[in-house]
């Protein structure tokens, strides 16, 4: 690393990105157990998956005494449409973090295209994290179609306004840093102009993904502009991280030295095996069997969504092995620990989690289409019965009106559409 003559002050509750090798924000692969495992194996900081601002707005913060996590939840989209049909339906966890094991090393990444909603969402989580990072690099349509992610690279003034608002209204009051993650542009001149603007907004850190927006992960990272970006950040006193084809801690420090950046993100390599954060002297990359066992235990401890756990195991277990085929056939944590041979250690805990998540033998019967239609019809009749006639016609009572919207959502904003993977929309 190179020394800097100028440094933007790091807020009291924030963290300096300099000298750090960190877990990158990734789709599905940045949920709580993945982050905790990366930290266990030596990651200095972890980025959560991009979470859309509108998905967070209206959530309720809960301290979960069972998992020892902080959960931001809202009524699921199905239940919100007609709560009477699914009166016993659990709230969906939009974002889960573990304050004791990751809190001051967790960077919350937000997907946004609007300063007001960015601030509103960030305020909800600011006291539980070490920093807020704006996603301005995701090229996926689910992000860019709403003007978020890489689309912000085409609207730099809007991006700067978002960052300035977050610095002033979230960063300063909570004493945490605000940062941004971008991609390189087509020319060095364009990238330099963008980075110069961003560094003037009050941010403490900037991550550059060494690919252009059209490039896919299979294409090799392009580092021709990296030294220039590092120089611009250094002149402004902003920490600069690099991202793209970094496979280990040793390689990361080699690239830091070569290009003059302050730190590096590891993405795909950590998704497959998070022990890549270990140095060679600490044992280096661990066998998949060790990593998978640690991951399963951690996923059970924090009651991770079953679908997400199974997806991650599909990345960690080599696809040609019998263990992969056996894992793919499982439908619950109890099934999983049995086929992987962990039953004696965590079998009872797995069964308890299955029960709380309603999976495996505890899965509730699903309503048929006809049953759902009949239940909806009955619910509508009950709502009609609560309506009061007036001189102007039929008017609902205040109590009946509340049925149309979950109690934690403002009356002027319906709940964001939150698909299964909404809490893991990532760069």
> Where in the sequence numbering do the catalytic residues fall?
138
Burial class (CB in 10 A: 0-12, 13-18, 19+), 87: exposed
Spatial distance between the Cα atoms of 79 and 84, rounded to a whole number of angstroms: 8
What number of CA atoms fall less than 13 Å from residue 211's CA on the CB side?
Answer: 18
- Report CA Rg, the chain: 23
Spatial distance between the Cα atoms of 310 and 31, rounded to a whole number of angstroms: 13
| Structure tokens belonging to residue 280 | 């060679």
CB 406 within 8 A of CB 91: no
List CB contacts of 3: < 8 A, sequence separation 6 or more.
Answer: none
| Structure tokens belonging to residue 272 | 């497959």
Nearest Cα to Cα of residue 105 among 31, 43, 51, 56 = 43
CB 94 within 8 A of CB 51: yes
Q: What are the C-alpha distances in Å from 278 to residues 39, 63, 249, 293, 427?
A: 10, 31, 7, 17, 24
Spatial distance between the Cα atoms of 91 and 60, rounded to a whole number of angstroms: 10
The partner residues of 242 in beta bridges, in order of sequence, read 208, 264
Nearest Cα to Cα of residue 124 among 74, 193, 179, 182 = 74
3-state DSSP assignment of residue 301: helix
């Amino acid at each position: 690393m190179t020394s800097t003559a100028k440094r933007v002050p790091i807020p009291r509750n924030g963290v300096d990105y300099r000298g750090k090798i960190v877990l990158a924000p990734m789709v599905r692969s940045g949920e709580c157990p993945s982050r905790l495992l990366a930290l266990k194996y030596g990651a200095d900081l972890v980025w959560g998956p991009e979470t859309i601002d509108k998905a967070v707005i209206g959530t309720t913060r809960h301290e979960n005494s069972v998992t020892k996590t902080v959960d931001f939840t809202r009524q699921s989209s199905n239940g919100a449409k007609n709560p009477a049909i699914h009166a016993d339906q659990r709230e969906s966890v939009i974002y889960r973090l573990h304050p004791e094991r990751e809190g001051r090393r967790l960077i919350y990444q937000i997907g946004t295209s609007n300063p007001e909603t960015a601030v509103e969402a960030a305020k909800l989580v600011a006291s539980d994290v070490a920093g807020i990072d704006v996603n301005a690099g995701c090229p996926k349509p689910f992000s860019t179609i709403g003007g978020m992610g890489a689309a912000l690279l085409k609207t730099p003034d809007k991006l700067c306004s978002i960052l300035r608002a977050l610095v002033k209204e979230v960063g300063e009051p909570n004493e945490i840093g605000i940062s941004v993650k971008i991609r390189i542009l087509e020319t060095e001149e364009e990238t330099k102009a963008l980075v110069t603007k961003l560094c003037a907004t009050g941010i403490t850190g900037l991550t550059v993904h060494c690919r252009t927006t059209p490039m896919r992960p299979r294409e090799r990272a392009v580092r021709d502009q990296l030294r220039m970006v590092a120089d611009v950040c250094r002149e402004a006193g902003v920490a600069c991280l690099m991202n793209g084809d970094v496979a280990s801690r040793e390689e990361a420090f080699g690239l830091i030295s070569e290009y003059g950046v302050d730190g590096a993100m590891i993405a795909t390599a950590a998704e497959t095996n998070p022990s890549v954060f270990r140095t060679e002297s600490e044992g280096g990359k661990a066998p998949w069997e060790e990593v998978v066992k640690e991951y399963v235990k951690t996923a059970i401890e924090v009651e991770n969504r079953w679908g997400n756990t199974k997806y991650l195991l599909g990345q960690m277990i080599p696809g040609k092995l019998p263990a992969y085929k056996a894992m793919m056939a499982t439908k619950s944590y109890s099934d999983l620990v049995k086929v992987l041979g962990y039953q004696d250690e965590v079998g009872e805990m797995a069964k308890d989690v299955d029960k709380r998540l309603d999976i495996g033998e505890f899965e509730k019967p699903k309503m048929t289409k006809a049953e759902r239609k009949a239940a909806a019809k009955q619910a509508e009749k009950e709502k009609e019965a609560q309506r009061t006639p007036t001189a102007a016609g039929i008017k609902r009572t205040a109590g009946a009106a509340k049925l149309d919207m979950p109690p934690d959502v403002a009356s002027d904003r319906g709940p964001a559409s939150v698909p299964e993977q909404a809490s893991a929309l990532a760069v």
